[in-house]
Amino acid sequence: MSHMSFNSDRVEWRRVTDPLCKTYKVDFEYSLLGFDLDAGRLDMLLRYAAGKGHCRRHRHVASTMTLVLEGEQHLQELRVDGSTKIVSRKKGDYALSPGDARPHLEHGGDSGGTVLLSMCANDGVLFEYFGEEAEASWTVSIAEFVSSWERGEIYGTAK
């Protein structure tokens, strides 16, 4: 059993940027809070940089609970018909999405944002990531995510 109090100044953050991405500004930090490999569960924090910092284009393969702790979270979800659905969340907003979510871009507001993500993956796969124009994809499992964290590396890089 793990227990910790949330204090963003006491959390180990890992920053991700991608200066080669020209379509949107990849600039976020993440922190692994806890995991249970046997149960297929991983909890993490995601912090978007001020100025609408994005995380990578992705979709959640795992069922995901999202709670906005600070600032804002904005999503641009690609629909099957090619249209875009816009979702905006503010501090205190909660969402629960089933596994196999639609691909989307995700970013904070002008002042950034911090969200808690709690994911449950029956097959262990958390995310499917896409290239800048959604042309290529690769997945990241809980085991890969945890292993990269323990090695001090950044998860989710293309293989």
Query: Secondary structure of 27-73 in the HEC alphabet?
Result: EEEEEEEEEECCCCEEEEEEEECCCCCECCCEEECCEEEEEEEEEEE
| pTM of the predicted model as reported, rounded to 2 decimal places | 0.89
Whole-number pLDDT of residue 3: 60
Query: pLDDT tier at 108 (50, 70, 90 boundaries)?
Result: very high
Whole-number pLDDT of residue 64: 96
Tokens in use for 43?
Answer: 């909890």
User: Which whole number is the average pLDDT over 101-125?
Assistant: 93
Whole-number pLDDT of residue 157: 55
**pLDDT higher than 60, residue 136:** yes
Q: What DSSP designation does 122 have? A: T
Q: Are 70 and 48 in contact (CB under 8 A)?
A: no
Tokens in use for 40?
Answer: 């297929």
C-alpha closest to that of 55 among 158, 153, 156: 156
Whole-number pLDDT of residue 40: 95
Cα separation, 91 vs 104, in Å, equals 20
Residue 19 CA to its chain's centroid (Å): 19
**pLDDT higher than 50, residue 158:** no
Q: Are 96 and 64 in contact (CB under 8 A)?
A: yes
**pLDDT higher than 80, residue 63:** yes
Q: Specify the pairing of strand 41-48 against strand 27-36.
A: antiparallel
User: Which whole number is the average pLDDT over 120-144?
Assistant: 87
Query: pLDDT tier at 32 (50, 70, 90 boundaries)?
Result: very high
Half-sphere exposure of 99 (CA within 13 A, CB side): 14
Percent with pLDDT over 90 in the chain: 59
Domains and CATH numbers, the chain: 12-150 (2.60.120.10)
Q: Are 119 and 63 in contact (CB under 8 A)?
A: yes
State the residue for tokens 């691909």.
103
